[in-house]
């Protein structure tokens, strides 16, 4: 099952009243911590899952939940682990259904009193299966503007995991942002076929640098390492890795999972959890995403570009500028 922290919470709630586990027992739920389990197919160090884990740990630190998790769960084991947690009395199970949509939804159907909040490419179902995703295309667009302004060669390399909508929309938004400030910018796009393979991502990035890329879009871990070793620049995704790469990572599009997680926890506690799409809570409007501070690159990005980025950011927050959502697979332009 992978390493789990807080195993005490897997089966330790034997003293809970049966009604406290049911979604409809609002009064009982309000009296106790919500029991939450995270089921992840990759290590919690991976950036996407790491943001979910961070939000859940914050809720745990505030005394709102009892939290356990399983990481690096193989797709073939995912259904079994979901069922184990549901049988153990977890009230809310959070995870990723992208590669296991059918099994995950089957489990939810079998446990109608358990709330499921799953990353998914599809919609919610019934009254207990909600979906979410990292809709951070808005700050991704802004990082593209910065990259376009910083590139000297006019070539940007982009390394992703898989060409699925969740990745495609961010890459396409980034590309649109770069083209706004530099219409002649060119892109190299590559997918490594893995959610967590830093060495493979690094090699793909090296190949792009060899072909002229001077800025790399680091959708996967390993890309910024290649940029650092070759003296190039990188753009971060989901998390801010500038502290680890202070002379390499110029900007990052950040995902804040807290609005989504806190809302789901409150719904379970109040007995009001239903099947719905939480995607909007990852947008800038709901504080679910943001552009990381320039930090060590403050003063290094052209002032004209910074002003334009700030203007676009204000327009996005005000609702007067909309970043196009394009889920199609991004293509190289060279």
pLDDT digits (tens, 9 = 90+) for 20-60: 334 444 444 445 899 999 999 999 988 899 999 999 999 99
**Residue range 122-147: average pLDDT?**
95
Residues 60 and 113 in one domain: yes
pLDDT(320) > 50:
yes
To the nearest 10 degrees (0 to 180), the angle between helices 101-110 and 75-87 is 10
Percentages helix, strand, coil for the chain (3-state, rounded to 5) are 40, 20, 40
Range of the domain at 304: 137-255+289-318
Residue 71, domain member (yes or no)? yes
Is the pLDDT at 7 greater than 70, yes or no? Answer: no
143-156 as b/e: b if 16+ CB within 10 A: bbbbbbbbbeebbb
Q: Which region among 160-164, 269-273, 325-329 has the lowest average model confidence (pLDDT)?
A: 160-164
Question: What 3-state DSSP class applies to 69?
Answer: strand
Are residues 91 and 48 both part of a single domain?
yes
Whether residues 122 and 147 fall in one domain: no
Residue 99 — pLDDT band, cuts 50, 70, 90?
Answer: confident
Is residue 260 in a domain? no
* Strand 289-291 with 249-255, pairing: antiparallel
The verdict on 125 and 203 lying in the same domain is no
User: In total, how many domains does the chain have?
Assistant: 2
Separation of alpha carbons 77 and 107, rounded Å: 13
């Amino acid at each position: 099952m992978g390493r789990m922290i807080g195993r005490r919470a897997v089966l330790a709630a034997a003293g809970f009243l049966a009604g406290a586990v049911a979604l409809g027992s609002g009064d009982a739920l309000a009296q106790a911590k919500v029991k939450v389990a995270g089921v992840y197919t990759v290590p919690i160090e991976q950036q996407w899952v790491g943001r979910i884990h961070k939000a859940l740990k914050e809720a745990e630190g505030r005394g709102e939940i009892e939290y356990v998790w399983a990481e690096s769960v193989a797709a073939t084991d995912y259904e079994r682990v979901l069922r184990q947690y549901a049988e153990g009395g977890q009230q809310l199970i959070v995870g990723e259904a992208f590669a296991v949509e059918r099994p995950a939804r089957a489990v939810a159907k079998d446990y109608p009193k358990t709330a499921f909040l799953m990353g998914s490419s599809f919609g919610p179902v019934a009254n207990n299966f909600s979906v979410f995703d990292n809709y951070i295309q808005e700050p991704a667009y802004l990082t593209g503007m910065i990259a376009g302004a910083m590139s000297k060669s006019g070539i940007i390399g982009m390394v992703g995991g898989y060409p699925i909508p969740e990745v495609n929309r961010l890459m396409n938004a980034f590309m649109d942002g770069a083209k706004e400030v530099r219409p002649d910018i060119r892109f190299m796009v590559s997918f490594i076929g893995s959610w967590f393979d830093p060495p493979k991502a690094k090699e793909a990035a090296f190949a792009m640098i060899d072909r002229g890329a001077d800025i790399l879009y680091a959708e996967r871990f390993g890309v910024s390492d290649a940029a650092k070793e070759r003296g190039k620049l990188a753009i971060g995704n989901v998390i801010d890795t500038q502290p680890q790469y202070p002379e390499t990572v110029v900007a990052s599009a950040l995902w804040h999972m807290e609005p989504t997680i806190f809302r789901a926890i409150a719904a379970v506690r109040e007995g009001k959890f239903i099947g719905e799409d939480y995607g909007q809570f990852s947008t800038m409007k709901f504080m679910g995403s943001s552009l990381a501070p320039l930090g060590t690159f403050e003063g290094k990005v052209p002032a004209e570009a910074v002003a334009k980025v700030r203007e676009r950011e204000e327009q996005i927050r005000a609702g007067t500028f909309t970043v196009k959502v394009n889920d199609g697979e991004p293509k190289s332009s060279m």
